[in-house]
Amino acid sequence: MGSYIERTIASLIAASERAAIAEQVAFSKGALQRVDARVKVAGLFALIIVVAASRRLGVIAALFVIAAILAAASNIRMRRLAGWVWLPVLFFTGAIALPAIFLTPGRPIAFFGVIAITEQGLRAAAFLIGRAETASTFSALLVLTTPWPWVLKALRIFRCPMIVVAILGMTYRYIFVILQTALEMFEARQSRTVGILPPSERRRLASSAAGVLLSKSVQMSGEVHQAMRSRGFRGEIHLLQDFRARATDWCWLAGFALLAAASLWYGR
Amino acid sequence: MHIPDGYLSPATCAALYAGAAPFWYVSLQRMKRAFNTQMVPLLSVFAAFSFIIMMFNLPLPGGTTGHAVGVGIATIVLGPWASILGISIALIIQAVFFGDGGITTIGANCFNMAIIGSLATYAVYRLLSGRASITSARRVIAAGVAGYVAINLAALAAAIEFGIQPLLYHDASGAPLYAPYPLRIAIPAMMIGHLTIAGLAEMVVSAGVVAYLQRSEPALLKRTAPGASEQGAPEHAAGNLRPVWFALAALLILTPLGILATGSAWGESPPFPTPRGLRALASFWTAPMPRYAPPFLKSPAFGYLLSAMIGTGIILLVILFAGWMANRRSR
C-alpha cells in the first residue's frame, strides 16, 4: 500500500518537474526560443495539420526529421525528447497499431504460421505511428520553446476569446497550486501510514483525497474571486500585447508557410 | 480515451470542432449569466481540479488501477454547462502542454469527454437520484452509475470516430490512412477497457466524492439536486417510484404484443440437427409454463400476460426478500 501513495506522489512530482524543466528550456537560448510566439504557434500548428493531412509516408518521415533538427537547434536534448515524447508515443501507438499489420486485409508479404502480415497492414501501422510521432514532436517543440503565458497570448491571433485565454492562463497556474496541495495531502498520509492497506481502503483514501481537494478548490475559487474583486475586477479582461515581430520572425513565418505548402503539395 | 494526433482525419477533426463549438458557446453564455465575475476563477480552479483528478491512480476491484476523467463529479457539483467548459479547458492544457491527446483532436476529445460525458452524467444522475435527499445513499449510487455511463458513452463515441476512419480514408493500395480498425473491431476494443477499468475508475471517484461531500459539505451537491432537502429526511420510496410502477404496469399490459410477430426469436430455437448432448440435456428440466403459455390456459394472449405478471411478481418477491434479509442483518 505504501507503494500506492508513493506512486501517486511520484506521478504528481513528475508532472511538477516536467513543467519546471519545460519552463527552463523555454527560457534558454536556441533557434526556436528566439522566434515570436505568434509565429511559432501559427507555424507549428500548421505543420501538425499538414502531418494529419499528408497521404505519403515519405512526407511524414521528412517532417519528422525536420522536427528533430529543429529540436536539436533549439537546445532540446534528444534523450529528453525520446523519454518525454518518442518512446511513450511509440509504446502507446505501437501497441494499438501492431494488430493492424495482421488484421488489415490486403496483399500478404510474410507469414507467421497461419497468420499473414499484409502490405496494407504495414502501411496502416506506419501511417499511424509516423503521424502520432511527428505531430507530438511538433507539439512538444512549441511547449518546450515557448513559455506558457506567451503561447496563450499568441492564441489571440486565432481569435480565441479573451476570456478563454484568461481562464487557460489561470488554470495553468492553479494546476500547480492544487498539485502542491495534493502532494502535501498524500505526503501527510504517507507519514501516518504503517503497513499495507487493503484495496477497499485505498479506494476510500483516493475518494476522500479527491473530495478534500474539491472542497479546497471551491474555497480557493471563492477566495480568488474576492481577491480579484478587491483589485477592481468587474468582468472585463485585458491582456498585455507586448509582441513585436522582427525581420527574422517574418523569415521564420515564410519558412513555416513554405514547408507547410510544400508538404501539403507532395503529401496529397 | 485521449485521442492523439494522427488517429482521425482532418475532416473528422474539423467536424468535431464544429460539433463542439455550439456547446462551448452556449456554456460560456450560460456561465456568464449565472456566475458573472465569479466565472473566471471558478472555471479556472475547477479545470485545474479536473486536471489533477485525471492524474490520480485509482486502485480498482480485481487488482488493477485506472484514471478517472472527473467529468462525473464536475457535473454533479457544477452542473453540465460549467462542467463542459471546465473539462474542456483541462483537456486543452493536457493536449498542448503535457502532450496527452492531440492538438488536431482537441475538438474530438472535448466532444467525447467534456460534452457527451457532462450531458450523460447530468441526465443519468438526475433520473436516478430524483428528489432523494442530499444525504441519501441513492445519490451515491446515482453518481456512480452516472460516471460509469458517461465514460462508456464517451468511449463509444471515440470508438465510432475511430471505426469510421478506414471506411472513409485509405490510400490507393487500400491501406487505412488513419485509425486502421473498422467499427466491428474498434467498438469492442474500446468498450472492453472502458466497461471494465476506466468506467469503474469514474464510478469509484464519482460515488466516493459524493459520499464524502454528503458527510462534509452537502451544500456543494445542491446545484444538481433541485427540490431535495439537505438533511437526511426519510424518503417516500413508494411516492418516488410511482412512475416506475406505472411504467411496469403499462409494459405488463402490452406483453401480448410479443406474440404478434411471426417466427421465433433468433438464437432461441435449438439448432438443426440438434446435437446429442443438447438433446439429452433438453429434458433435464421441464418448465412449469413452457414458452410463456401455461398449459391450463387456452388463450395465448392471456397466457402471455399471466406469464409476465407471474415473472414480475417472482422478481419483486425475490428483491423484497433480499432487502428484508439485508435490513435484518444491518440491525
* CA neighbor of B309 nearest in space, from B257, B259, B253, B234: B253
In a mutational test of the B interface, the residue from A142, A221, A234 whose CB has the highest number of chain B CBs within 10 Å is: A221
Tell whether B99 is within 8 A of chain A (Cβ).
yes
Q: Are residues A33 and A20 in the same domain?
A: no
Report how far residue A155's alpha carbon sits from residue A152's, in angstroms, rounded to the nearest whole number: 5
Does residue A151 belong to any structural domain of this protein?
no
Q: Give A185→chain B minimum CA distance, Å.
A: 13
A238 pLDDT exceeds 50? yes
Residue range of the domain that includes A178: 1-24+160-237
Contact A137, A86 (CB under 8 A): yes
Percent of chain A with pLDDT over 90: 28
> Is A86 found in the same domain as A69?
yes
Residue at A1 is within a domain = yes
Residues A96 and A202 in one domain: no
Q: Which of A265, A264, A260, A266 is nearest to A66 (CA)?
A: A260
Contact B54, B109 (CB under 8 A): no
CB-closest option in B48, B103, B205 to A207: B205
Better pLDDT: A259 or B254: A259
Residue A10 has pLDDT above 90, yes or no: no
Please give the pLDDT value at position B210: 92
**Number of inter-chain CB pairs under 8 A, A vs B:** 255
Q: Which residue has the cell 428483491?
A: B319
The backbone torsions φ and ψ at residue A112, rounded to the nearest 5 degrees and listed phi first, read: -115, 90
In this structure, what DSSP letter does residue B233 have?
A: P
Look at chain A and report how many structural domains it folds into.
Answer: 2
Q: What are the mean pLDDT values of chain B's consecutive 10-residue runs (331 residues total)?
A: 88 94 92 78 85 75 70 91 91 85 92 95 92 90 94 93 90 87 89 87 90 88 79 50 73 72 62 68 72 74 79 81 70 57
Task: Say what the pLDDT of residue B237 is.
Answer: 46
**pTM score:** 0.78
Confidence of residue A176 (pLDDT cuts 50, 70, 90): confident
Determine whether the interchain pair B174/A105 forms a contact, defined as Cβ–Cβ distance below 8 Å. Answer: yes
pLDDT on residue B76: 93
Across the interface, which of A142, A210, A234 has its CB nearest the CB of B208? A210
Query: What pLDDT was estimated at residue B264?
Result: 62
Fold of B10-233: Arp2/3 complex 21 kDa subunit ARPC3 (1.10.1760)
What is the DSSP-derived secondary structure letter of residue A56? -
DSSP label of A35: S
Q: Which grid coordinates are listed for A213?
A: 481537494
Residue A209: closest CA among B80, B58, B44, B201: B58
pLDDT > 60? residue A245: yes
- pLDDT in the model for residue B229: 67
pLDDT for residue A52: 92
Nearest residue of A to residue B70, measured between CA atoms: A210
pLDDT score at B241: 64
- With an 8 Å Cβ cutoff, are B49 and A52 in contact? no
Looking at the complex, does the CB of residue A170 fall below 8 Å from at least one CB of chain B?
A: yes
Q: Rounded to whole angstroms, how far apart are CA atoms B46 and B74?
A: 8
Write down the domain spans for chain B: 10-233, 241-259+287-331
Whether the CB of A93 is below 8 Å from some CB of chain B: the reply is yes
3-state secondary structure B61-82: CCCCEECCCCHHHHHHHHCHHH
Residue A209: pLDDT over 90? no
Beta carbons of A123 and B175 less than 8 Å apart: yes
Q: Do B97 and A22 touch (CB under 8 A)?
A: yes
Spatial CB neighbours of B215, under 8 Å, sequence gap ≥ 6: none
Write down the pLDDT at residue B234: 47
